[in-house]
Amino acid sequence: MIEIKNLYKRYHNHHGSNWVLKDINLTIPNGVSVGLIGRNGAGKSTLLRLIAGMDTPERGEVIRHSKVSWPVGLSGGMQGSMTGRQNVKFVARVQGGNDKEIQRVIDFVEDFAEIGDAFDEPVKTYSSGMKSRVSFGLSLAFDFDVYISDEATAVGDRAFKAKAQKIFKEKIGKSSLIMVSHSEGILRDLCESGVYIKDGEAFWFDSIDDAIKMYHDSE
């Protein structure tokens, strides 16, 4: 379960500091996959980062009673001078794996990413798509109670997207997912509930279809 209590968030800049999110109160139950819905700039990715613990609220709190992933496919944390294999090995070690577990993670990511010999080349030589493939595989190599995804299934060609969605579905059988996607088809396919975000407020819907309908009716 994830509890979001009296959460406020804004970013200070020279234009002022309007609230991106204000007085958000939500409880996301165990085992329920949720799609975050709203127009561009509504605060979907901001809420996702707050849930993942990658950003801090101005007020309020996010209480995680589950093991929550970092955003799937996030490539910003990789060290450019290290190879893909070295980056993966480092993260697997930090996660507390023994030698056998570390090797399992490396093999999984290498097979999943499908970047060939580039896996042993410095990450700074990778295209953004290659980095995303490695990061995506690394995120899914570990068992979390809740996976966080911001458009992760949009990475790569059609075959890779299908592969990514297949793994998501397999993971959802054991875990849950909180995701942002501009594809309503993907949201309907992977999520059962929805959170509609508008004007800094968040509205919970038990049905993802009801959340999508409210989005269309209100925008």
Helix-strand-coil split of the chain, %, nearest 5: 40, 25, 30
Q: Supply the pLDDT for residue 132.
A: 83
Q: Is the pLDDT of residue 160 over 70?
A: yes
**Domains in the chain and their CATH numbers?**
1-67+176-219 (3.40.50.300)
Query: Residue 153: which pLDDT band, with cuts at 50, 70 and 90?
Result: low
Q: What are phi and psi of 200, to 5 degrees?
A: 85, -5
Sequence-ordered list of residues with C-beta below 8 angstroms from that of 55, at least 6 positions apart, any chain: 9, 46, 49
Q: Is the pLDDT of residue 26 over 90?
A: yes
Q: Is the pLDDT of residue 164 over 80?
A: no
Per-residue pLDDT of 41-98, as tens digits, reads 899 999 999 999 989 999 999 999 989 988 776 666 789 999 999 999 999 999 888 9
CA 164 to chain centre: 13
Of 172 and 46, more confident: 46
Query: Residue 139: which pLDDT band, with cuts at 50, 70 and 90?
Result: confident
Q: Is the pLDDT of residue 152 over 90?
A: no
- Calculate what percentage of the chain has a pLDDT beyond 70: 93
Sequence-ordered list of residues with C-beta below 8 angstroms from that of 179, at least 6 positions apart, any chain: 33, 34, 35, 36, 48, 147, 148, 149, 150, 152, 186, 187, 190, 191
What's the predicted TM-score (pTM) here?
0.82
Q: Quote the mean pLDDT of the chain.
A: 89
Q: Supply the pLDDT for residue 72.
A: 77
